Amino acid sequence: MKNSILKQVRQYKSVFIAAPVLMILGGLLETMIPLMTAHIVDDGISQSNMAEVMRWGGYMLFFAVSALVCALFGYVASAKASSGLAANLREEMFKRIQSFSFADLDRYGVPSLVTRQTTDVTNIQTAVQTILTQFFKTPVAIVYSLLLTMQLNMSLSYVLMAGVALIGVFLSLIIIRSIRMYRQVYNDYDSMNDRVQENVTGIRVVKSFAAEEAESKKFDDAAGIVRHGFVRVERLLAFNNPVMMMALEFCFIGIAWIGAHQISAGSMTTGDLTGFIAYAFQIMSYMAMLVLSFVQLASSFASIRRVSEVLEDEPAIADPKEPVREMKDGSVEFSHVCFRYGEGEGKNVLEDIDLSIRSGEMIGVVGATGSSKTSLINLISRLYDVNKGSVKVGGSDVREYDADTLTGEIAVVLQKNVLFSGTIADNLRWGKPDASLQEMEEACRMACADAFIAEKEGGYEAAVEQGGANLSGGQRQRLCLARALIRKPRILILDDALSALDTATESKIRRALKEDMPEMTKLIITQRVGSVREADRIIVLDKGRVAGFDGHEGLMQSCEIYRELCSAAEG
Ligand SMILES: Nc1ncnc2c1ncn2[C@@H]1O[C@H](COP(=O)(O)OP(=O)(O)O)[C@@H](O)[C@H]1O
Ligand SMILES: [Mg+2]
């Protein structure tokens, strides 16, 4: 098991140790029982001595009950240990994921992170439960049983050992092969999961494009591969039982044959033979358990890998050693910035960007879809790191800032922002946990959200459903804007964030921002070129390059692309 996973045992160390210890103890007590059987037969039944039967029967009961009690507590301890570990793993992964940068999230994909936190952790929990209860106990019990059989009868014990060794070798071969197969199956299982996740997350799109059939076909293919893999492994594992049974039969025949000879020669008692056969049974059942736990462990390998991958991940964006904790002003400066997504390959989505934005300016950002507007502003709040050049905010490189300072001073509102279930006030307090009612009202006034909130029953205490489902697109956008404004950030970035509003409301909001927050730098990405006409300056992006950066009049004179965008908007 991986270190990163074992580390999460933490406060459950004691039950983690107690469980196998109790199980081993129970196993040792259990292995004494056939010995009692031998005594009952020889000293009691054969001699018709009822007192001896009672005596050894009493011992037997004692051992059986103690073994049972040990096993019971062993199971309880292992349940505590494995569910505790699972809880810790989930908690730790959750913490990790919170610290992930956008680049990290791109790499995993959100659905995969969900599976890792749920199914994979459950798999590990089951495997740990089996390991704690069976993995340590069974080998010890097998060896101890064999030692006890040697006491009963040496030569018979050799027969049994030979049988056990033979079965052991055969089962190991099967296990090794099945582990390899399991690895493959779980890889296929992974890709099937990805298919399901992609499809279910995008189900609305799939439906609206009537692509259900094609998607179903893709899923069927993936599911078929998984089914095939599982059948292959199960077929292999199906060998286990007949092999065990056959070996057992041979062992019994051998034992009975030699035993009968010895009994008639007077060198062995019937009781010993009875005990012996009971041991043979017990050992075989232990071996079956051991095999089962191996298989279970094998089937959890993929989950272990997937969980430890998240736990061991170093965030792509590391904090600086001596971070800057104060932003001097809201100026933004790009110098020779190149940026591309992913590691290494791929072409730049931003090419040699040079921009200087003064604190307090209102800047429009326009350009066709895919011209890298979003990519550009993502670099300001350091959702991604540049590949070349530097982005400075308030005079310091964004990479030198403390992460909280950066996120605290730069507020980004996306076109599709998320609201959480709770009240309107709860959602606003995401922006500032200790916001007063007055602050909320002020922010909502600027965001033109005051009117619709007043109409809601309960006002600021009105409920918001998960994702803001009970609000209209425009209401959601205004609430998200208010949530960003309540913090009074130095830089406000609106990424197509007012698209669901009518132009009149939009310009009212822009005016409010300009007049009420003159210190705050405002970057407004928009599809509607007309709506940023009166911005101080406008950045025109074209295929990841700056095609123009000037006021409206200046751009009309100098920038061909801007003229095209304007005429396209009018026409
Ligand atoms: N997370 C991402 N991973 C890989 N490529 C991306 C990602 N986001 C955007 N891109 C690519 O970067 C380019 C610019 O996208 P974007 O900045 O979103 O443009 P805009 O906001 O102007 O529409 C596009 O070619 C897009 O395919
Ligand atoms: Mg965009």
Chain centroid, CA 379 distance in Å: 27
Q: Is the CB of residue 372 below 6 angstroms from any atom belonging to ligand 1?
A: yes
Which CATH superfamily hosts domain 3-312?
A: ABC transporter type 1, transmembrane domain (1.20.1560.10)
Sheet containing strand 410-414, edge to edge, reads 410-414, 491-495, 521-525, 362-366, 537-542, 545-550
- The pLDDT tens digits for 447-456 are 999 999 999 9
CB count within 10 Å of CB 208 equals 9
Interior angle at CA 302, CA 297 and CA 308, nearest 5 = 100
Better pLDDT: 299 or 435: 435
From residue 429, alpha-carbon distances to 246, 290, 513 in Å are 70, 55, 20
Beta carbon of 526 within 6 Å of any ligand 1 atom: no
| Of 45, 46, 66, the residue nearest 54 (C-alpha) | 45
> Which residue puts its alpha carbon closest to atom 26 of ligand 1?
370
The pLDDT value given to residue 297: 83
Q: Domain ranges for the chain, please list them.
A: 3-312, 332-417+490-570
φ, ψ of residue 396 to 5 degrees: the values are -115, 150
Between the CA of 381 and the centroid of ligand 2 the distance, in Å, is 15
Pick the CATH number of 332-417+490-570 from 3.30.70.141, 2.60.40.10, 3.40.50.300, 3.40.1170.20: 3.40.50.300
Asked if 236 and 174 count as a contact pair (C-beta separation under 8 A), the reply is: yes
pTM of the predicted model, to two decimals?
A: 0.72
367 lines ligand 1 (CB under 6 A): yes
Residue 279 identity (one-letter amino acid): Y
- Cβ of 371 closer than 6 Å to ligand 1, yes or no, is yes
User: Does 263 or 247 have the greater pLDDT score?
Assistant: 263
DSSP 207: H
User: For residue 525, which atom of ligand 1 is closest to its CA?
Assistant: 21
Name the token pair of 401.
């800032």
Does ligand 1 come within 6 angstroms of the Cβ of 229? Answer: no
Q: What is the pLDDT of residue 344?
A: 65
119 pLDDT exceeds 70? yes
Helix, strand, or coil here: 269?
Answer: coil
Unique residue bearing structure tokens 């959480």: 420
pLDDT of residue 235: 87
Q: Where are the beta strands (DSSP E) in 439-478?
A: 463-464
Q: Do domains 3-312 and 332-417+490-570 have the same CATH topology?
A: no
The answer on pLDDT for 570 being more than 80 is no
Angstrom distance (rounded) from CA 215 to CA 562: 41
Could you report how far apart the first and last alpha carbons of the chain are, in Å?
65
The residue whose CB lies within 8 Å of the most ligand 1 atoms, and thus the one to mutate among 341, 347, 385, is 341
pLDDT of amino acid 226: 87
Nearest residue (by CA) to ligand 1, atom 16, is: 372
Provide the sign of the torsion angle of the four alpha carbons 104, 109, 111, 112, taken in this order. negative
pLDDT at 217 over 80: yes
CA 306–ligand 2 middle distance (angstroms) = 31
SS3 317: coil
Greatest mean pLDDT range, 231-245, 298-312, 376-390: 376-390
Q: Which DSSP symbol is given to 370?
A: T
**Which residues, 6 or more positions from 467, have their beta carbon under 8 angstroms from its beta carbon?**
418, 419, 421
Q: In 3D, which of 392, 316, 386 has the Cα closest to residue 351?
A: 386
